[in-house]
Amino acid sequence: MNTILTPRTLATLFTLLFICSHAAADPIHPQLPADVTMNKDAGRGNWLFVALRLESGEELPFFMDTGATFTGFDKFVEPKLGKSLGAAMIDHWGDKVETHVYTMPKLYSGTTPLMTGSNTVTSGFKMLSLVAGRRIKGILGMDCLRQYCIQLDFEAGKIRFLDPDQLNTAELGKAYPLTLEGNRVVIHHLSLTGGTNTDALIDTGLLYDGQVEKVVVQGHFWIRLRNFLVETVPFAEKLHRHLIAPQCDWDGETYTDLKVDVGGMANVIGLRFLARHLVTFDFPNGVMYLKKTSTGPLANQHTKGAAVGSKRAHG
């Protein structure tokens, strides 16, 4: 989608207040799915989409979100999920929303079963679908993704599931130790706007390059705004601001034309920035590798609708 805004996923950072997660297969030697072809607008204003199958064979469109704690479904999928286990409260960036809990159905990538958590929740994905310019039926979250070593190759347009014990790490770029706080993916590093090292959430559900907390912008970072353009855009009857950086230096590398969201969570690294790299998430060994492939953002000539709004999407 080609519009101004860039939402963060509604289901990102699902905090299920009582749901446990467990691996649905051997967590040491999972069966690896075949490579997946990326949608052409992935990282170019839209999310990474994957088609996953239910046991019935029906395919559902999901997008891959390292900022989503759990895998969730659109509420219209509820009839396919069996009997509800009851109601639950989920935390949508500080807003408590009641939803329904179900036993996680078996999910497949191609013919390969995926390892997931034991339970799932449903929520309305109408806004997500509007932003993406396509119907979304689910969000593939960290209860599944953390079981795998996943490589995002934006140049080749491929998502690869790799054997974490067979990586040629010398070819993967810089290594960043990952911390899994619950199911949140964090590195300890400075943000794209500078400052001091702090926890940085790695979030493929954020379509911007990154995000900084509003109070940070109003504080020590404010003096740096002379190097940024501040863009104000309408979303859901509110005004939303983000920063446009002509250039920044991050970990010894120079990047241009960055969009940084001003929101509620400090120091987030988003998909627009990650897409400038060959990205390898070695979740089993707790390492992220970044190999820079582009100084500027990826061209978005294929994008047809993403970024309708610059609000985090909440499922």
Q: What is the C-alpha separation between 242 and 222, in angstroms, rounded?
A: 13
Main-chain phi, psi angles of 77, to 5 degrees = -90, -10
Q: What is the C-alpha separation between 295 and 152, in angstroms, rounded?
A: 17
| Domain range summary for the chain, segments of one domain joined by + | 168-292
For 299, counting Cβ atoms within 10 Å of its Cβ (0-12 exposed, 13-18 middle, 19+ buried), the class is exposed
According to CATH, the superfamily of the domain at 168-292 is Acid Proteases (2.40.70.10)
Q: What is the C-alpha separation between 23 and 146, in angstroms, rounded?
A: 10
Q: What is the C-alpha separation between 125 and 12, in angstroms, rounded?
A: 12
Find out whether 91 and 17 touch, Cβ atoms under 8 Å.
Answer: yes
List, in order, residues 6 or more apart from 29 with CB less than 8 Å away: none
| Each residue's pLDDT tens digit, 250-307 | 999 999 999 888 766 568 999 999 999 999 999 999 999 999 999 999 987 654 444 4
| Each residue's pLDDT tens digit, 88-135 | 776 655 566 678 899 999 999 999 999 999 999 998 888 889 989 999
| Each residue's pLDDT tens digit, 48-79 | 999 999 999 999 999 999 998 889 999 999 99
User: Nearest to residue 57, comparing CAs of 13, 107, 103?
Assistant: 107
